[in-house]
Every structure is written in C-alpha cells, then in structure tokens.
Structure 1
Amino acid sequence: MSQTSPPASLLRESALRTLSLEQAAIGALMSRLDEEFDHACRLMLDCQGRVIVTGMGKSGHIAGKIAATLASTGTPAFFVHPGEASHGDLGMITRGDVVLALSNSGETAEVTALLPLLKRLGTPLISMTGRPGSTLARHADAHLNSAVEREACPHDLAPTSSTTAALALGDALAVALLEARGFTAEDFALSHPGGTLGKRLLLTVQDLMHSGDRLPLVTLGSPLRDALIEITRQGLGFTCVVDQQGRLAGVYTDGDLRRTLDQHHDLRDLTVDEVMTRPGKRISPQVLAAEAVRLMEDSRITALAVVDDQQRPIGALHMHDLLASGVI
C-alpha cells in the first residue's frame, strides 16, 4: 500500500529545524574555545611525526575527514580505526606522533582501550568529546569540548548535531594550524596536483602562453593593414605593437578594429600608432594563470601580452588557452 508523501512545507520545516539545531551547535563551540584549544594546536605544531586521528562509528567518519583536511593543509595526518589498532594497527603509531581521538560520549570502548597503550608509548593525546568528565577527556593531554545541547534527530539519538560540531571543530583546528605554519596556496596545490584545483593553483602564464612564431607582433609606424594581417595570421584577436627597442608600446585588438571602422572612413593611410590602445594590458610570465583570468575578467578582455622585465613581449595569452587547460 503506497504512502502519501507529506506536503513539501512539512519537509522544509523539518529541514529548517535540523539546520537551526546544527547552526546552534556550531555557534556554541565559539564560547568554549579556551586554552585547551591553544594547547591542542601547540601539540600538533610541535609534533615530529604525524597526527593520528581516530574514532568509532559516525565519529570515525568525521575523524577520517579531519585527517584528510589536516593532511591537505600542511599537517601530516592519517586515520587509524580504533578497533583495528587494538589488533595490530597500533604499530602505525610511533612515539613522535600525536593522537586526536573523537568520541561524543568519551567512553567508546574501542577508543578508551587505546589509552594504556598510548600512555606506555608516551604519545600525546588530544580528545574531542561531548563530555568533559568522561574517561577519554580526563586522560587526554588536551581536551576539546564538542558538546551539543541536543541532536537534530527528533529522538535525540542519531549523531547529527554532534558530528556536525565535531567536523567544524576539526576544521577550526586545521585552519588554525594552516595559518600558524604560513601555509600558502602554492603549498596547498602541491598536495592537490590533479584536477582543476591543481591546475588553477600551479599553472603559470609561461606554461600556457604562445611564444616564438606564435607571438603576434608589429612595430610602431606599421600600416594598419600589416597589423590586421598579423591578427588574422595568429588568430589570437590582437597583436603587440613594439617600439624600436622592442618594448611594448601598445596593442591593437579586434575591439580596436571595430572602433576604427566607426571613426575612420578610409583605412588605407592609417598606421597602427594612430588607432592602437596604449599602453595595453600586460602580464609577467611568472604570474599564476588564475591571476591572468582575474585581470582579463576585470578588464573585459580576452587576450594579454606577456612581457619580460624590460617590457619586451615574449608571449601572448588568450582566454581560450585558460579554458582548454582547465584553469577556468
């Protein structure tokens, strides 16, 4: 027998109630950040090994994500399943490591079973629990209080608000450590070399620019006809215009051509000097390709001249190159 779906408004009301409870859970964390958070950060910053993150059940899933976030933001870390740790995987933890253990109750048997072993190793322990008086919290070197008033689950049972709070607290740790280490966008890219993210952060203008015979170029004083032939030959929508020393004096673009046609009835006697754009947008070859995208978007152009330290054109970059490379 088919069931009738509840009205959409009731579904939205349930969703809004959940989001409100989880928002409140995250907000409550702010007033509880104290010296324990500082101590936890210092333990991880001073760590000579890795940060081992552990947790059971839903807390284990959150622990895995925290470990991944730490590892990608400059803090070497990985997840160890507490049940497996008691059956051999404890060998993954060394004296130079720091353990971050998650348990909402602070009494999860698989996690608390690790306490004697960690104490014997002398491995610093950071706990993240919802009960400051719990076994795990009391035996930790630093305790992070992730308590929530209630779960978003209407029965106050399924881990919802508590796991959201733990995840947010893990992000707070990762970002605090990232900033303390001076971790840069380039550092981040080194651990994300694949896909669009790596391309956006790693590729420079020099990697994508057209150079050599593919560089559109005419000199000052050239007939406009020569500039149009060069634009057509290279197919980049513009040409660089250089002075006698080879420095970029300006550019002539498809847009300039439209303006020229509006303003001049006879193009035969025009030189490129009379109608080009001065000084023309330009960029250094060492600049990240993502910055070139921003410059093009801000200037509402589709191509850039690439110049060296003496302002001599050495390349040309087109928006199509950025699209083809996956930077945008």
Structure 2
Amino acid sequence: MASKIQAADSVQVQFGSKKAKRAFIRKYAALYLISIPGIIYFLVFKYVPLLGSVIAFQDYNIFKGVTGSEWVGLDHFKRMFEYDEFVIILKNTLLIGLYDLVFAFPVPIILALLLNEVRIQVYKRIVQTVIYMPHFLSWVIVGGIVAGLLSPSSGFVNHILGMFGIEPIYFLGENSYIRTILISSGIWKDSGWGTIIYLAAIAGINPDLYEAAQIDGANRLRQTFSITIPTIMPTITILLLLHMGNFLDFGFERVYIFLNPLNSENGEILDTYVYRAGLVDRQYSYTTAIGLFKSLVGLALIMIGNTFSKKATGEGLY
C-alpha cells in the first residue's frame, strides 16, 4: 500500500513538473520566439559549416566533391609543421596575438575607469563619442589613414621626426615596425568601443559602496582599486576568456590591408596565409586543416583559461 502511495506521489510530482514547465514556456513564449532567428543563424552559419571540416582529412577535389575525394588522414596536419613557412607564420600569429592581449586588452578597462572619474557629464559624453567613433570605420579607411600618417614623404609622423633631424622612415616597408602598427591601429579603432561594456558594468555598482568607502576615508584612487575593479572583475574575466578563444583569430582585414612584400616576414598571420594558400593557390584541404587547428587551439585555450579562472575568481564561461 505504501509503495502505491509513493508511486502515486511520484506521478503527481512528475505531472506537476511538466505542468510547471509548460507554464514556464507559455510565460516566456515571446522570448523564445525572439531567439529563433539567432538560433537559426548559428545553426546555418556556425554549426552546418563544421561538416566541411571533413575535407581537412581528404585530398579534396572541387569537381569530385566531398564524397568522391580521396582520404589522406592526417597528411595535411603533418605537412603544416614540416613546412618552414607555416612555422614562421604561426610564430607571427602567436606573437601578434600575445602583444594584442598584453597591450590592447587593458586599454578599454583603463579608459572606462578614467571616464568614470569625469564629473562633467557633457565633457564625458563628448570624449566617449570621440574615442568610439573609429570603431565604425572599415579597416580599408583605417589603413588609408595610417598609411597617410606614416608616409615617408608627406606623413605627419615623419614630419615630426624631421623637426628633430631624423631621416624619414618607411614604416610600412620595414619588418620591425609592422607588429607595432597592427597593435596600435587596433587600439585606436576598437578600444573606445570596448569601454561601453565596462562603463555599463561600472554603472551597475551599488553607490552605497562608494559612500561607505568615503566615510572610512578612502580617496578616489583607493575606491577604484578596492571597489570598482573587484566589482567589474567578472566582466573582465568573461571578456578575457572570449579574447583567449580568439587568440589565433587576429583578423584577416586588419592585417591584409597593411601587408606587403617588404613586411610580410613579420606581418603575415594564419588568416592571410589561409587566404593566399587556400583561395589563391586553391589548396583547400591544407587550409581547412589550418582552420581546424586554429579552432582546436582556441577551444583548448578557453577550457584552460576557464579552469584557472574558476579556481582563482570563481567566475567562468561555464
């Protein structure tokens, strides 16, 4: 008898849970409908193309297709690391990605902290608008601006150097400057836009924390390091993990617009190499293997970074 009662209770609980789930779905039906286009986008443009990764293990022939092409296993992956040019390009990608992480990632955080201290709202809005406007410029326009500023004949930078008796320098024609140009141009273009996220996180901080700190005698600098930064640390952590996931995806347009035969030794990255070897030279399987390698490295970096982050701060992507 007791077992029958328990069984009836479990059925009632299950029915109640299903009823609750249906009520929950009906309550948020509008949100589910709104999310459908986003889900379709990721399915069509992110997940379905993953099936094309199979050609990394084939000697792909565009006329025979995936089903008719010969399987070669890991030959293309072995070729990657046996090819001296690929190793050099991988080194360039790693170095540029590391420089971008060290020098470019903190800039939006610093700008957000500085803007947060501005008390004149009109001035604050003007500065914020000015610094994030470059984000809306294409890399072609940014490349033209940078090339004009660094021109050895009429560039503003060489004009300033000439005032100090320094001979004009062809910055875009020397390997030693290309990485600095790539990182600095990226900082100018995108750092202002990144401050929006951090300013939004700062705006969500409880003002009572600052009032309590003022009562305790903490100055603005102390409040920044004791309240502002620790409070927005979860946001910083999430964005850092996402940045690490794209560590090898520095951006094709960002590099290609500055690349030329004079600076390609230090400037060419995996994205531009994939374009040159895959689309120009039609080595589809080889470049697909490179793309798959990049994806696996990005996944590994996210998993490693997320593990350390959860142990250190308790925050993570999952």
TM-score, L = length of structure 2: 0.23
| Bigger relative CO (Cα 8 Å, ≥ 6 apart) | 2
Q: Which structure features the higher share of helix residues?
A: 2
Q: Which has the higher strand share?
A: 1
Larger radius of gyration, structure 1 or 2?
1
TM-score by length of 1: 0.22
